[in-house]
Each structure stands twice: as C-alpha cells, then as structure tokens.
Amino acid sequence: MASEPVSSSVIWDNLWNLGDRHIHWDDGSRLIFNILRCQQVRQPKRTLEVGCGTGKISARLHKEGFDISLMDFSAQALRLSKQVWLASDYEDEPLRIMASMFGIPIKDNTYDLVWSAGVLEHWPRASQKLAVSEMVRVCRPGGKIVQIVPYSKSIPYRLAKWYKETRGTWPFGPEKPLSSMLPLLDLNQVESVSQRSVGFLDQFRWLATFPGGKLSAALVRALQKRFWGLNLMLPGWLLILTATKQ
C-alpha cells in the first residue's frame, strides 16, 4: 500500500524561493482561472484562496470583480503574492493570512467562494477531510466551495511524476492524486455537489519531462492554441469538486 502524503511549510518555502519560475502565467493557470471565473458566485464575491502560493490566479480573478483574500502557511508564498499584486497595478491589497488550513482564523459564514488548487493531494485523508470542513465552515450559506487536485487516472501526469520521483527531481513534495473527492465532504452541509475531470490537452505538457520533451511540448502548445476548449470538455489531469453550502 502506498504511504499517505504529508506536506511541510519547509518544502513550500524552498519551492517558492525559486521565485519568477512560478509567477509566470501558463496553460495550467489559464485552465484553473477559467474554471473559477465561470462559477456562479453571488456578490460581493468575497473569495478565499486556501494554499494560495503566488496568488497569480486570484490576482486575475480580482480583475473580474472578485474580492480576494489569500491564505498560505508558507511565508515565502505570501511574499511572492505581494510581487504578483504589485505587478498587477492594483490600488488595493488583498487580505493575506499566514495560517494552516486545518484551523482557518476566520469566522463562520464569511466568504462567497472558498477554493484551493494543488493542495489537498499533499495530505493524508483525515487531514483532507479536516481542511475541507474548515473551508465549508468559513463559506456562507449559498456560497461555493471549489477544490482542484491532480486526477489519478491521468496517465501522462502519473508517468511524469513517477519519472521525476525516481530521479529525485520531483519538486512538490509528497503527493497522491485522487480519483474522487466526494468522501471528503459532509453531505449534510452541502448541496448541488458535482465532480468532473478537465485538462485533456494540458495533461500532455507533462510529457516534456521525458528526454526529447521539447518537441512534445511544442506540439502541445500548438494544439492548445487551436483546440484549447477541449481542456474544459474532456477528462484530463485535474479533478474538480464543486459544492454549494446549505
């Protein structure tokens, strides 16, 4: 049996110390941004990103009228988020919270949208359930909870992860992709629950990990430019859970 992942702020501080490498806008960021901005979120669109990292997706959402709060347990991540915000030329600043998602220091029923991407898969199942329950708690009744994780049935992603792990070059720490997030929810607290996979074309950029990957990366970029909509239509390397709080 595979061991459960366990994450650490040290891992993420080291990752975010790479700076500009993670600030640039890529196809994965574009995909998550489009998923979120299509959510039917009521005004004033108070939004909390849990495990925000650089906060670059939330910065784009702010341009769409979302009122942003950023939370991470990595001090370096929050410092990078300031750079992203400064580069966006906003006059206002988001609320930044350095805290664990297992005890969010926000009162109940505060946000219209609470979301995370690339976070839950780094923690064991019991911790995932606790984190999701905290996100539900701080969401307002009628608000949206959106969780995005790697999908365990994406072969390109799984192969690339295995290849880098065997060579000691996987940068994201322990990570276990999920096949379903439904067991993480208390269904008595939510309604209108949906789950689907997206990122069909985007998953093939993981093939750039292998020798000769530059050619496959160029091909994927060309296909993305012409057929990007397939990312939202067909299963890929991301799994999305969307729920409305009762």
Q: Note whether 71 and 50 are within 8 A (CB).
A: yes
For residue range 126-157, list pLDDT tens digits in order: 999 999 999 999 999 999 999 999 999 999 99
Rounded-to-integer distance, Cα 67 and Cα 46, Å? 5
For residue range 160-192, list pLDDT tens digits in order: 999 999 999 998 889 999 999 999 999 999 999
Confidence (pTM): 0.92
- Exposure of 101 in the CB half-sphere (CA atoms within 13 A): 30
Q: Facing residues of 67 across strands?
A: 46
> Above 60 in pLDDT, residue 1?
no
Average pLDDT score over residue span 38-61: 95
Q: Facing residues of 241 across strands?
A: 147, 195
> Is residue 92 helix, strand or coil?
coil
For residue range 101-130, list pLDDT tens digits in order: 999 999 999 999 999 999 999 999 999 999
Q: Note whether 116 and 144 are within 8 A (CB).
A: no
Please report which confidence band the pLDDT of residue 2 belongs to, taking 50, 70 and 90 as the band edges. very low
What residue type is 199 in one-letter code? Answer: G
